[in-house]
């Protein structure tokens, strides 16, 4: 059983590294990675529709002017009847006693290690997660960011994901939004639905509308069609992936010779 994870960490390098370590275990998938308690609340809200089994929360999460610190929020959230399991992340071992007094499931001491994160995930898997307690398991969606809001996107709305200048974004039928996960983490979660066609691009293979070659370069138009009107994004295909991408798309299409 795969655990669904929320990461709450305000330092981008630490957040990104913890996401990678969680994904590497193969026993958990990161549903959302956020920087503030306000965003974490949104991700856990019933109306968000995302089932979260465990939340990794930084003890030293800075309190915003209108928000709680990480430890204060966990103390509050642990009392909720539908609360996920909590794992506290800290740079100081002395927080371990406080962590267990709060009733959290585990704690991680920074700097994180692959061995310790894997052991934590395995321990959590022996417990009954929220996704099994839920009346129905919801399909995995992409959680993106627009200012202070978390936007949840169904896969049939997602055209492509792009990485540039250490930033990642998702292009969708509802707009372009920021992501906290790397392309590798996203690809791990969604398998063959989101296909790597370039070092900086994943595309939704089910929404590829056009394949074009121009002077030896290949590109894809990914999006949606309403009559003769197309809406979407044009994506370059890396030369070393061109044959593989064409074969993948043609394998589920009929009408042309497989040349």
| CATH number of the CATH domain containing 147 | 2.40.50.1020
Dihedral of alpha carbons 41, 161, 17, 154, sign? positive
Mean pLDDT over all residues of the chain?
83
Last residue of a domain, one of 133, 160, 185: 133
pLDDT of 259 strictly over 80? no
Decide if 34 contacts 150 (C-beta within 8 A): yes
Q: Is residue 256 part of a domain?
A: no
Q: Is residue 41 part of a domain?
A: yes
Asked whether residue 15 falls in the same domain as residue 91, the answer is yes
Q: Is residue 184 part of a domain?
A: yes
Asked whether residue 13 falls in the same domain as residue 129, the answer is yes
Asked whether residue 147 falls in the same domain as residue 241, the answer is yes
Average pLDDT score over residue span 123-139 = 61
65 confidence band (pLDDT: 50, 70, 90): very low
Q: Is residue 258 part of a domain?
A: no
Last residue of a domain, one of 113, 133, 153: 133
Q: Is residue 235 part of a domain?
A: yes
Decide if 137 contacts 50 (C-beta within 8 A): no
Asked whether residue 170 falls in the same domain as residue 60, the answer is no
Q: How far apart are CA 237 and CA 202, in angstroms?
A: 10
Query: What is the predicted pLDDT for the residue at 67?
Result: 57
| CATH number of the CATH domain containing 77 | 3.40.50.2300
Instruction: Report which of 35, 33, 34 is spatially closest to residue 10, judged by C-alpha positions.
Output: 35
pLDDT of 50 strictly over 80? no
Asked whether residue 85 falls in the same domain as residue 152, the answer is no
Structure tokens at 232: 């979407």
Count of domains for the chain? 2
Q: Is residue 257 part of a domain?
A: no
Asked whether residue 36 falls in the same domain as residue 60, the answer is yes
Average pLDDT score over residue span 7-25 = 91
Asked whether residue 202 falls in the same domain as residue 108, the answer is no
Q: Which residues, other chains included, contact 16 with Cβ-Cβ below 8 Å and sequence gap of 6+? A: 33, 180, 182
Q: Is residue 220 part of a domain?
A: yes
- Give 139-166 pLDDT, tens digit per residue: 678 889 888 889 999 989 999 999 988 8
Last residue of a domain, one of 133, 164, 187: 133
Query: What is the predicted pLDDT for the residue at 214?
Result: 84
Asked whether residue 151 falls in the same domain as residue 122, the answer is no
- Domain span including residue 18: 3-133
Asked whether residue 22 falls in the same domain as residue 121, the answer is yes
Asked whether residue 151 falls in the same domain as residue 198, the answer is yes
Q: What 3 state SS string does the chain have? A: CCEEEEEECCCHHHHHHHHHHHHHCCCEEEEEEECCHHHHHHHHCHHHCCCCCEEEEECCCCCCCCCCCHHHHHHHHCCCCCCCEEEEEECCCCHHHHHHHHCCCEEEECCCCHHHHHHHHHHHHCCCCHHHHCCCCCCCCEEEEECCEEEEECHHHEEEEEEECCEEEEEECCEEEEECCCHHHHHHHHHHHEEEEECCEEEEHHHEEEEEEECCEEEEEEEEEECCEEEEEEEEECHHHHHHHHHHHHHCCCCCCCC
In terms of pLDDT, which residue wins out, 48 or 232? 232
pTM here is: 0.57
Q: Is residue 259 part of a domain?
A: no
Asked whether residue 72 falls in the same domain as residue 177, the answer is no
Q: What percent of the chain clears pLDDT 90, i.e. is strictly above it?
A: 34
Asked whether residue 120 falls in the same domain as residue 18, the answer is yes
């Amino acid at each position: 059983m795969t655990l669904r994870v929320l990461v709450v960490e305000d330092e981008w390098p630490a957040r990104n590294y913890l996401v990678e370590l969680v994904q590497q275990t193969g026993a958990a998938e990161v549903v959302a990675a956020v920087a503030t308690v306000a965003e974490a609340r949104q991700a856990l809200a019933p109306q968000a529709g995302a089932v979260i089994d465990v939340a990794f929360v930084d003890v030293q999460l800075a309190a915003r002017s209108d928000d709680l610190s990480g430890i204060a929020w966990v103390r509050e959230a642990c009392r909720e009847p539908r609360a996920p399991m909590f794992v506290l992340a800290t740079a100081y071992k002395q927080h371990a006693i406080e962590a267990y007094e709060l009733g959290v499931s585990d704690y991680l001491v920074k700097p994180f290690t692959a061995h310790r994160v894997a052991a934590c995930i395995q321990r959590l898997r022996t417990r009954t997660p929220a996704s099994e307690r839920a009346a129905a398991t919801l399909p995995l969606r992409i959680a993106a960011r627009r200012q202070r809001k978390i936007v949840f996107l169904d896969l049939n709305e997602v055209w492509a994901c792009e990485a540039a200048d250490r930033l990642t974004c998702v292009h969708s039928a509802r707009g372009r939004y920021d992501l906290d996960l790397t392309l590798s983490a996203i690809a791990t979660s969604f398998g063959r639905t989101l296909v790597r066609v370039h070092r900086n691009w994943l595309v939704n293979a089910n929404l590829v509308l056009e394949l074009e070659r121009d002077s030896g370069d290949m590109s894809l138009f990914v999006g949606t069609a309403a009559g003769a009107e197309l809406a979407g994004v044009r994506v370059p295909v890396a030369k070393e992936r061109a044959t593989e991408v064409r074969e993948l798309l043609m394998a589920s299409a009929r009408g042309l010779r497989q040349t």
